[in-house]
Amino acid sequence: MKQSLVFIPTTKEVPSDTEAVSHQLLLRGGFIRQEMGGVFMYLPLAYRVLQKIQTIMEEEMENISCPETLMPVILPASLWKRSGRYKNYGPELFKLQDRSERELILGPTHEESYIDVVKSTWNSYKDFPKTLYQIQTKFRDELRPRFGLLRNKEFIMLDGYSFGGSQADLDYSYEQFNQAFRRIFDRSGLDYISVVADNGAMGGQESTEFQAVADIGEDDVAYVGEERSGANMEVAQGIPTFQVNEVFEEPGELTKVATPNAKTVVEVGEFFKTDLAKIVKSILYYADDKPVLVVAPGDHEINEMKLSNGLAAKELRLATHEEVQNLLGVQIGSIGPIGISEQVKVVMDPSVTHLHNFYVGANEDGYHYQNVNYDRDFTVDEQFDLININEGDLEPKTKQPYHIEQSIEIGHIFKLGTFYSEGLGATFLDQDGKEQPIIMGSYGIGVSRLIAAIVEQNNDENGIIWPKTVTPYDVHVIEINNQDETIVKTAEKLEEEITNSGHSVLLDDRDARAGVKFAESDLFGFPLRVVVGKKAQEGIVEIKERRTGEVHEIELSQVVKFIRDFYNK
């Protein structure tokens, strides 16, 4: 394809709030343009990447015998009312009406559509396990879309679904998708970690997230070892370093100490000149409108997901300053578990039991206790893991130190269970002729987000460096001078030869300075660049590898071979 015919609106100016490198580079390289906040156009170069990724996905899904389908974008609200999600999905659900005032939604995911269509056909245990998937544009009315293709109102997903009659069916399909997704990410050139995840709003049992490591990522993952096995921060469990390092001390005398102006953990820690872990913090929450005091080591954050799960709370929120004052009669910085009102349930992270002579608020403004020891000075109603791990905390099984990195969630596989089949009356007859709900799994990859993740992981100061498998074009052929007949003829002959050899080519035939062409070529980031310059007369061109920067002078007759070898290695 001649570059002069392709719409590639490169630009040097990107909006100042363009935070993500991928967003900057995709805008600068003319790959994408924003139609409005969170809604993008895929211009020719980006569309080719999208196609490459889709082809990889289709091949890998075919490999696990999962048939492709396409569900509607607009769905009747009635379908989602039956599953209960019309109400529960919240303000991220786009709602609209047709001309006869029928209520519709724009599908953000399609569990209901799939279970509803398969249920009348698959109704015996003999029909399972089965799978279906689609690659489709989806909609979620994000409050704050950002980071270019990372968090959008309109985005492209691969969403797969499995249907089973037993736990074994579900396990089988889950593992099939697990393997297929890994191959998709591997083939797309991504560096990713698979981690145990919380199911969040979806309900169900086991689930795994695939996280691409990237500074701009909105998730945190914790992992250990070379295989980087780990978990999403929301569920990662660890042994705090203080618990490992703590040396036994004889319990001292419980003493109330005036701590003027020391309210935060850090301030109190400085006041007592001690390790932050020993400043045990006490924070008042409301769980389903009942007050709960949460006690935790001062150097670890409270994990509200764990807390909420541990309390089996539907709603959880921090108490306001006013509520603390009204209920406990003290300010937030001075709350503590000793002598707390009996109206308040007290829960504690178990790591606190390993501390000796620690510090807590005294339930009196401006005072803390020192030489506090659990059991001697106070007890609690319940203990469970309720903190985020810190970098360096030990993974409980392997006792290896955790690494924590920011990451982009690129995929997620769930063992959903029977939530949707029960809601939509999707049952089958088991071996004993008994009616049972179909057991579902659901499996997703953020396709547009994958593009952003690839660019986040593959770039340098000059632009994008596409992996060979997903590059818009395999080769960029550049005419140094489009007025020189030898150069033009050589370049066009190369374009034809390379195309015939099965590799895609973009031929920069534009009337522009060589420097401009090279800079744009680096920005576009195709793996190979063939420069046709003055030496074309001697039958020689220059080939540059984008990733390594290596330059080769190659005879014209050897160019196709060079490209073939490069792509085969």
For the chain, give the number of residues.
569
d(CA 464, CA 452): 11
Q: Is 76 in the site for its own copies (CB under 8 A)?
A: yes
Pick the binder of its own copies from 14, 71, 202, 254 (CB under 8 A): 71
Range 6-45, binding its own copies (CB under 8 A): 6-7, 9, 33, 35-36, 39-44
The nearest distance, CB 491 to its own copies, in angstroms, is 16
DSSP state letters, 398-436: T-PBPEEEEEEEEEEEEEEESHHHHHTT-EEE-TTS-EE
Please tell me the count of residues contacting its own copies according to CB under 8 A.
Answer: 56
The nearest distance, CB 556 to its own copies, in angstroms, is 24
The nearest distance, CB 449 to its own copies, in angstroms, is 15
Q: What's the Cα-to-Cα distance from 337 to each of 249, 324, 325, 328, 363, rounded to whole Å?
A: 21, 14, 15, 11, 8
Q: What's the Cα-to-Cα distance from 526 to each of 50, 307, 451, 512, 545, rounded to whole Å?
A: 15, 48, 14, 19, 9
Q: Is 271 in the site for its own copies (CB under 8 A)?
A: no
H or E segment and range at residue 318? strand 316-318
Q: Is 154 in the site for its own copies (CB under 8 A)?
A: yes
Q: At residue 187, what is the residue type?
A: R
For 421-460, b where at least 16 C-beta lie within 10 A, e where not — what string?
Answer: bebbebbbeeeeeeeebbbbbbbbbbbbbbbbbbbbbbbe
Q: Is 59 in the site for its own copies (CB under 8 A)?
A: no
Give the nearer residue to its own copies in terms of CB position, either 457 or 521. 521
The nearest distance, CB 65 to its own copies, in angstroms, is 5
User: What would the two tokens of residue 219 be?
Assistant: 């998730």
The nearest distance, CB 179 to its own copies, in angstroms, is 16
Q: Are strands 207-213 and 403-417 parallel, antiparallel or unpaired?
A: antiparallel
The nearest distance, CB 142 to its own copies, in angstroms, is 9
- Whether residue 224 contacts residue 403, with contact meaning beta carbons closer than 8 Å, is answered with yes
Q: Is 153 in the site for its own copies (CB under 8 A)?
A: yes
Q: Is 201 in the site for its own copies (CB under 8 A)?
A: no
H or E segment and range at residue 453? helix 447-457
Pick the binder of its own copies from 24, 82, 117, 338 (CB under 8 A): 117
> Smallest Cα–Cα separation from 353: which of 239, 268, 243?
243
Q: Is 218 in the site for its own copies (CB under 8 A)?
A: no
Q: Is 500 in the site for its own copies (CB under 8 A)?
A: no
Q: Are strands 475-479 and 528-532 parallel, antiparallel or unpaired?
A: parallel
Q: Is 96 in the site for its own copies (CB under 8 A)?
A: yes
d(CA 48, CA 95): 32
d(CA 19, CA 127): 49
Q: Is 132 in the site for its own copies (CB under 8 A)?
A: yes
Please name every residue paired with 464 in a beta bridge, in sequence order, or none if there are none.
459
Give the nearer residue to its own copies in terms of CB position, either 266 or 516. 516
Pick the binder of its own copies from 20, 26, 115, 118 (CB under 8 A): 118
> Smallest Cα–Cα separation from 566: which of 532, 526, 506?
526
The nearest distance, CB 137 to its own copies, in angstroms, is 6
Q: Is 113 in the site for its own copies (CB under 8 A)?
A: yes
> Smallest Cα–Cα separation from 156: which of 183, 136, 174, 179?
136
Q: Interface mask (CB under 8 A) for its own copies, residues 452-471, using x and -? A: --------------------
| Binding range to its own copies, per CB under 8 A, among 117-125, 277-285, 305-313, 371-379 | 117-125
Give the nearer residue to its own copies in terms of CB position, either 35 or 175. 35
Q: Is 143 in the site for its own copies (CB under 8 A)?
A: yes
Q: Is 247 in the site for its own copies (CB under 8 A)?
A: no
Residues at the site binding its own copies, with contacts judged by CB under 8 A: 1-2, 5-7, 9, 33, 35-36, 39-44, 47-48, 50-51, 62, 65, 67-76, 79, 91-92, 94-96, 98-99, 102, 106, 113, 117-118, 120-122, 130-132, 137, 139, 141, 143, 153-154
